[in-house]
Amino acid sequence: MHARHVSAPLKPRRHQRGQALAEFTIAAAFVLIPLFLMIPLLGKFLDMKATTIQAARYAAWERTAWYGNSDWAVGQKSDAQIQSEVQQRFFADAPTAPLRSTDQTPSSAVGGKPLWHDHAGQSMLTSYSAGAGNGTQTPGTLDAVFGWVTEAVNSIGSVLGTQFKLDMESLYTSTVNLNTAQTSAVSLATGADQSGFRAPNFVMNQVLVANGWSANGPDFVKKQTEGLAPLSLGQRDPVKQIVSTIQKFAGTIVEELKDDSLRLGGVIKPDDVPPDRLTAVPAGAPAPSKTAAQRRQEEAAKREAEAKSIGDTFNAKTNALNDAITNTRNQINTCKADKQAEYDANRQTCRTSTSKECSYWVVRTEDCLPDSIITTTTTTCTLNSPPNGGSSYTPNADASVACHAGLDAQIADLQAKLNDPDLQRAKTDSDKQLKEHPELANNALFMKQRKEALDALKAYQDKIDDLKRQKNGI
């Protein structure tokens, strides 16, 4: 016998359609509608959490910048001021309000932001708090070692009235608490009575390790540096006043000991930056690469330009020296002529005079007679001493500044011009080359050029020495 399988009769299609609609309605009522209601609440809770994180970061950062009760800066901000700023800037009901300095002033609690309200308009914010702690010891072996080193340095600096300090307490923390409300709308949307859902509370801790070794302004840099530079004691009162008084007295004896010439003690100048580091100069376009031939040509042109500049300078200073020598020689000749003219005039006056003033010029009285009476007999005129205790036969010429002190100054200027490094370059360069390369003494061309340069300098020196002798003979 064969078994027969009998299938159940199929339901009508219209009955299947009604079942699907019923299932969707049940799902929408118990799953989708609560889900749609919870999505806005989820966004509100996420915004509250993000705001709590931002407030914690702000509180920690403000403590690193304002130092609290530390002695590292003059500006301080208390925990109450930081908490007030967090309240006004993160939890206020006017999120677009501008930041103000009055935000530091503690005030009564403000309502939550408009976003932090449920469907019924009830605030979801119950309370909040913000706190920031002062710096604590940064963990690590290096901080412990440096702590001991700075104590040793300060023990030395305390004798000199200085202090060097490294901020080892650079671990800053903050804690922000935000408590939410279990409103009726939240309970209804989440089915809190059946699910046991509770509105979350947010607690955010922020930890920052600040760079406590950084400078807190120019005054702080100076204070730190003085602790490591004991010689800076010479630039602080009363030592500075004592040293300045001593230098003023010593400077009257030795010019180099004046305080404007010799600075005693370490001078500390924070933020003393060269001017060329303060002006941004746009970088030019990169220069195209050059061939070896171009570089050799540029080097040759550069050497030629340098040689021409040296030659032009030498010629200009040589011409100036020649002109100065000529002027000095003319001045000497003028002084000699003036003195001789004064001498001859005085002598002629005495020869034609019958007074006793003539006695200091001649020995015999016939020399004082007019030429028409003097006999043809040759007589010798011997000068006696000047009259009345005088010391000069040519007083006007001898008293002329231009013929004595003025000539001394001109001759000294000639010597200075000859000693100019540009005129002495040939000698100094050849001396240096001979010292570095003694074998050049066997180079005929080098020695010939050196001898010509030395001979030219010697010729100028001979002229100056001759002018000195002529001046002394006036």
Q: What is the pLDDT along the chain (474 residues), one digit of tens a residue?
A: 444 544 445 555 555 566 777 777 776 666 666 677 778 888 888 998 998 999 899 888 887 777 654 455 455 677 788 888 888 888 876 555 677 777 777 665 555 678 888 878 888 888 877 777 666 666 655 666 666 777 776 666 666 566 666 666 777 888 888 888 888 877 777 766 666 678 888 999 888 877 655 566 677 677 777 766 767 766 777 777 787 788 777 777 777 777 767 777 677 777 777 766 666 656 666 667 778 788 888 888 888 888 788 888 888 999 999 999 999 999 999 999 988 888 777 767 666 655 544 544 544 445 444 444 444 444 444 555 565 555 677 878 888 888 888 899 999 999 999 999 988 988 898 899 889 888 888 988 889 988 998 999 999 999 999 999 998 887
The answer, as to whether pTM is greater than 0.85, is no
Give the C-alpha separation, 247 to 231, whole Å.
17
Secondary structure class of 180 (helix, strand, coil): strand
Say what the pLDDT of residue 376 is: 44
Give the C-alpha separation, 414 to 435, whole Å.
29
Helices (H) and strands (E) in the chain, counts: 13, 3
Secondary structure class of 176 (helix, strand, coil): strand
Secondary structure class of 344 (helix, strand, coil): helix
Say what the pLDDT of residue 322 is: 92
E strand or H helix that includes residue 129: strand 125-136
Q: How many residues does the chain have?
A: 474
Give the C-alpha separation, 328 to 314, whole Å.
21
Say what the pLDDT of residue 378 is: 45
Say what the pLDDT of residue 469 is: 92
Handedness of CA 433, 434, 438, 444 (dihedral sign): positive
Say what the pLDDT of residue 385 is: 59
